Amino acid sequence: MGMMLREYLWKNRWRFNRKEFAERVGVIPTYLSSVAHGSTRPSISLAKRIEEATQGEVVWHELMEFCEENRKPRSKEKSSV
């Protein structure tokens, strides 16, 4: 199992910042941030560029699954009254 993108960016914060990493994979920093937090699902192409840029530490299909899970609407619990 690979590392989450958010964890990878935090672990490597002394080597490069998010803006530099975003430029490396060809997106703007705000878009990268939304992908890292799972609120935006990246294209397969971007997910694979991220995997390549992280030297496989972030696995593209796991990134896609993480984003898909976070985008699913959560059902509201019904309270019994």
Handedness of CA 10, 17, 24, 71 (dihedral sign): positive
On average, the pLDDT of the chain sits at: 90
| pLDDT (0 to 100) of residue 79 | 52
Cβ–Cβ under 8 Å, residues 61 and 51: no
Which pTM does this prediction carry? 0.84
Domains and CATH numbers, the chain: 5-70 (1.10.260)
**Would you state the pLDDT for residue 1?**
75
Token digits of residue 15: 């080597």
Which DSSP category does 13 fall into?
T
* Model pLDDT, residue 77: 55
Give me the pLDDT at residue 76, please: 58
Q: What mean pLDDT is predicted for residues 53-69?
A: 94
For residues 5 and 35, is the Cβ–Cβ distance under 8 A? yes
